[in-house]
Structure 1
Amino acid sequence: MKILLVGEYSRLHNSLKEGLTAVGHDVTIIGCGDYFKNYPVDIKLNRKYTSGLAKKWKVLLYKLFNIDLAAEAIKKQFFSHSENLKGYDVVQLINESPLGVTPKIEKEVVSFLAEHNKKLFLLSCGTDYISVKYAYDKKFRYSILSPLFEGKVSEKEFDPVLKYIQPEFKSLHEFVFQHISGVIATDMDYHIPMKGHPLYVGLIPNPINTEELPYIPFSVEDKIVIFHGINRSNYYKKGSDYFEAALSKLNEKYADKIEIITVESVPYAEYIELYNKAHIVLDQVLGFDQGYNALEAMAKGKVVFTGAEKEFVEYYNLEKQVAINALPDAQAIYNDLEQLILNPSELTGISKNARKFIEKEHHFIKVAEKYVETWLNN
C-alpha cells in the first residue's frame, strides 16, 4: 500500500513507518517535527515567526486582524507539495489538528487529503476534543487536567489543552469526523474516552522499534541512577511537580546511594543519550498508560515510573510488573523509590519484564501489521 502519515508526536509515525516499510509498504511522513524535539519527516514543514521581531510582528498582526502568519506559512508550504500528497491508499492524521495550525487551515488540509486519497484515518494519541472533554467532565479518577482543578495552573496557562473543547476546535473535531473512516487509540488514556463511539475502530499499541533500542543489561555496581526529563511547557500536565518533591526528599536521605539526572526541554537525540545510563526513569504521573518516552525506556530495560493503572494491567492481562504506576502523590512515589533503593534486586526483574512486554505488545512490525489489518477492514 501507499501510505501518507500526517504530523508527528513522540516519534510514533516514524516507528510506524519503519514497521510498515519492513513489510513492504511505501510510506511518506509530512509534518513539522514536533517543535524542539525535531523528529525526522520526509516532507518538512518549517515553523516560522517563532522568535525575535518576526514573532512580535506575528503577535501584533494576530491581535489586530486575526491573521496567523505562522499558520499561513505552514499552509503555503503544505500546498506547495500538493501533487505529492495525492493518490494514497491510506492517509493517517496524528491528531485532529495534525499540523498544529488554526482550525480553519486544518479544515482546508483535511478536506484536500480526503478528496484526493482513498481512506482517511485519525489517531487519538494526544489532546483532542473527546479525550479533553472526558477529562474536563472529571470522568477519570485523575487526568492531565487535575492540576487545573487543584488550582496549580490557570485556565490561560492550560489553553493548549483546553482549546480543544472551545467552539472553534469542537467544529474542527466534527469536521474531521465527517471525513474519516475510523479513529484508532494508542493507549488507555484515549481508549477509555473513545469506547462506544461509532467511528472507533479500536486500540493499537504504540509501535516501538526494538531493533534500534537494544536491551541494556541491568547491573547496579555503585549508585542507582534516577533520570527525570522535564518539558517545562508540560510541567504540571506530566506531574513533574510530584516527581521533584519525591526526589528532593529522597536525596536528603539517600544521597550516598543515588545519582539524580535532571534535564529540561532537550532535543530527542540528546534526551536519549542522557538517560541511557539510568536505572530508573521518571516519565509521567497523570496517565493510566505509558506514553512514548516511557515505552522506549522500557524497551531498553529501564524501570519506569509512569501510568500503569489497573485498567492497563487488566487490558493486557499482566501477571508481572512491567512498570511502576506513578500516582499523583509525592509520598507514594517516594515510598516506591525507597523500596527499590533498599531492594535493588527488584529492579532487575522489572527491567526484564518491561523488555518482554514491549516485544510482545509493542513490536513495531507486529503493530504495523495490526494497522494494515485495521485500515483494510474499515
Structure 2
Amino acid sequence: MRILLIGEFSRLHNSLKEGLELLGHEVCIVANGDGFKNYPVDLSTRAKWFETKIGIFFKKLLYKTIGFDVLKLEFGIRFYFHLNKLKNYDVVQLINEAPIQTIPWLERYLLKKIFHQNKDAYLLCCGVDYLVAKHLVEKKERYSIMNPYFENKNLYVEYKFIYDFLSKNHKKTHDLVYKNIKGVYASDIDYVNPIKNEKKIIGLLPNPINADKIKFIDLKIDGTIKIFLGINSSTYNTKGIVFFEKALEVVSKKYEDKIEIIIAQNLPYQEYIKLYDSSHIVLDQVYAFDQGYNALEAMAKGKVVFTGAEKEFENYYNLQDEVAINALPDVDYLVTTLSYLIENPTKITEIGIRSRKFIEKEHDYRFIAEKYLKTWG
C-alpha cells in the first residue's frame, strides 16, 4: 500500500511511518517541519525565502502593516511544486483540516488536487480544528486550554488562532475536507468528544510511539532529583506553564538541596530531548485529559510526567495504578504532589517503570500501525 501523510506537528507521522514501513508499506511525509522543531520529512515545504534576514524583515513588515503572514503563502507554493509527486496513493492522511498551513483559498485549492489525484483520504483529529475550536469556546469540558483566555481577555493575541478556525473562511476548508474524507479519528481522549457526533467518526487511534528508538532510562536517585520544564513561547498559556513555574518557585526553596530544576525554552526537537534525558520528572501541561506526544515520549523513557491523566483516560485504558501524574491548574496541588515525590523517591522509580510498560502495551508503533491499516481497509 502507498500511503501519503500530510503535515507533522509532533513526530506522530514519523512514528506512524516507521511502523507502516516495518509492515511493508511505502510511506511519504510532506510537511514544513513545524518551525523551530524541524521534524524530519520526505518532501519539505519549509519556508526558505522568508527565513533569510531580508525575508524575515519583509515578513514582519507585511504582518505589521496589513496582517498578512507571507510565510504561509510560501508553504503553499512549495507544496504546489510537489503536487506531481503526490499522486496515486492508496491512502492520504491529513494531520489537521489545514495540514499545509497556507492561506485558506490556496489550502483548499491544494487539498482539492490531493483528493482528486489519490484514492482514499482520512482526517486525524489531534489538535485544534473547526470542531475542536467550537467545542472549546462553548465550554463543553470542565476545563480546557481556553481557561486562561476566559479569565483574561487580554490574551486574545495568543488565542486568536483558535478563533481563526471558527472563521467563515476556515469553515469552507472544514466543509471541503469532511466532504472528501472517508473517516475521521482522534489521537487521544481530548479530541474524541469534539468529533463524537460526526457521521464519519471512526473512534480513537492512539498516538504511535517508536519505543525501539527511545531508550528506557533507569531512574536511579543519587541524592538529587532533577525536574524538567520545557517551554514553547507560543503555547505558554495553553499549556498552563505559569502554574508549573509558580510551583517550582515553592519547591525550589523548600527542597533547595534535594532538587535540580532544568528549564528549556524554544529549542529544536533534538536539543529539547537531550536536555530532559537526565531528568526524573517532566512537567508537560495542565489543561489536558490525556497525554500529547511529548508526554508519551517522556513516559517511554521512564520519566514521571505531569500531564493529562484524568479519570476518562484511566477508565479507557482500565488502569489501576498511575502511569503519569494528572496535572491540574492548581499551584497548591502541584506543590503537594511534587513534594510527595521528592520525599518518596521510590515512587518516582515505580511510576517510571509503569510508564514505560504502558507505552509498550498501548502505544507501540507497530501495534498502532496495524490499527491504522485495519481502519483503512
Report the TM-score when normalising by structure 2.
0.96
What is the 5 A alignment of 1:355-370?
355-370=356-371
Q: How much does 1:67 deviate?
A: 6.6
2:186 aligned residue: 185
Find the counterpart in structure 1 of residue 294 from structure 2.
293
The alpha carbon displacement at 1:197 in A equals 1.3
Deviations 1:107-155 (A, max 9, x none): 1121011000000111100111111111110011111111100117422
Distance between the aligned counterparts of 2:143 and 2:126, measured in 1?
18
Aligned partner of 1:13 in structure 2 is: 13
Output the amino acid matched with 2:288: G
Query: What secondary structure does 2:226 align onto?
Result: strand
The alpha-carbon distance between structure 1 residues 67 and 238, as it changes in their structure 2 partners (threshold 3 A), is: closer
- More displaced stretch, 148-157 vs 271-280: 148-157
- Report the equivalent of 2:164: 163
Kept after mapping to 2: 8 A contact 1:155/1:162: no
C-alpha change, 1:340 and 1:87, in structure 2 (3 Å) is same
> SS state of the match for residue 228, structure 2?
strand
Query: CA, structure 1 residues 51+146, in 2 after alignment: closer, same or farther (shift >3 Å)?
Result: farther
- Please state how far the C-alpha of 1:102 moved relative to its aligned partner: 1.3
- Specify the alignment match of 1:110 in structure 2: 111
Q: CA RMSD in A?
A: 1.6
Amino acid of the structure 1 residue aligned with 2:340: Q
Quick one: distance in 2 between partners of 1:340 and 1:221? 14
| Deviations, residues 68-93 of structure 1 (Å, cap 9, x unaligned) | 54333222221222221000000001
1:42 aligns with 2:42: yes
Q: Provide the rounded CA distance (Å) in 1 between the counterparts of 2:63 and 2:302.
A: 47
Q: How many Å separate the matches in 2 of 1:326 and 1:131? A: 21
Letter of the 1:261 partner, please give it. Answer: I
Match of 1:29 in 2: 29
Closer, same or farther in 2 for the Cα pair 1:60/1:78, shift >3 Å? Answer: same
> Are residue 3 (structure 1) and residue 3 (structure 2) matched?
yes
Does the aligned pair in 1 maintain the 2:130–2:174 contact within 8 Å?
yes
User: Could you list the per-position Cα deviations for residues 272-303 of structure 1 after superposition, in whole angstroms to 9, with x for gaps in the alignment?
Assistant: 10000000000111111101110000001000
What amino acid is the match of 1:95? N
1:268–1:254 Cα change, 3 Å = same
Deviation at 1:55, TM superposition (A): 3.6
Q: TM-score, normalised by structure 1?
A: 0.96
**CA distance in structure 2 between the partners assigned to 1:179 and 1:75 by the alignment:** 20
Instruction: Give the C-alpha shift of residue 225 in structure 1.
Output: 0.4
**Greater displacement, 98-107 / 335-344:** 98-107
1:21-100 → structure 2 map (5 Å cutoff): 21-47=21-47, 48-50=49-51, 52-58=53-59, 69-100=70-101
Residue identity matched to 2:222: E
Aligned residues: 376
Determine whether 1:242 maps to 2:258.
Answer: no
Displacement after TM superposition at 1:191 (Å)? 1.0
Which runs of structure 2 are paired with 1:218-233 in the superposition (5 Å)?
218-233=219-234
Opposite residue 42 of structure 1, the aligned amino acid is D
Query: How has the CA–CA distance of structure 1 residues 65 and 333 changed in structure 2, closer, same or farther, with 3 Å as cutoff?
Result: closer
Q: What SS is found at the alignment partner of 1:138?
A: coil
Q: Does the C-alpha gap of structure 1 residues 330 and 115 become closer, same or farther in structure 2, counting only changes over 3 Å? A: same
Aligned positions of 1:249-260 closer than 5 A: 249-260=250-261
Q: C-alpha distance in 1, partners of 2:51/2:144?
A: 30
Counterpart CA distance in 2 for 1:232 and 1:246 is 19
What SS does the aligned partner of 2:93 have? strand
Deviates more, 1:65-74 or 1:160-169: 65-74
Q: Alpha carbons of 1:269 and 1:54: their partners in 2 closer, same or farther (altered >3 Å)? A: same
Aligned-partner Cα distance in 1 for 2:364–2:73: 38
* AA in 2 matched with 1:244: E
CA contact (8 A) 2:226 2:261 kept: yes
Q: Name the aligned partner's letter for residue 336 of structure 1.
A: T
Q: Is the 8 A contact 1:147 1:153 kept in 2?
A: no
Give the residue type in structure 2 aligned to 1:267. P
Aligned-pair CA distance for 1:185: 0.5
Query: How far apart, CA to CA, are the structure 2 residues paired with 1:357 and 1:148?
Result: 34
Contact 1:129 1:169 in 2 (8 A): yes
Structure 2 letter corresponding to 1:215? F
CA pair 64-263 structure 1, distance change in 2 beyond 3 A: closer
The unaligned stretches of length 5 or more in structure 1 are: none
**Paired residue secondary structure (1:184):** strand
Q: Which amino acid aligns with 1:323?
A: A
Task: Report the residue type matching 1:32 in the other structure.
Answer: N
Divergent runs of 4+, >6 A? 62-67
User: In 2, are the aligned partners of 1:71 and 1:105 still within 8 Å (CA)?
Assistant: no
Deviation of 1:184 after TM superposition, in Å, equals 1.4
**Runs of 5+ in structure 2 lacking a partner?**
none
Q: What is the identity percentage for the equivalent residue pairs of Structure 1 and Structure 2? A: 49
Tell me, yes or no, if the aligned pair for 1:186 and 1:206 is still in contact at 8 Å.
yes
CA contact (8 A) 2:3 2:91 kept: yes
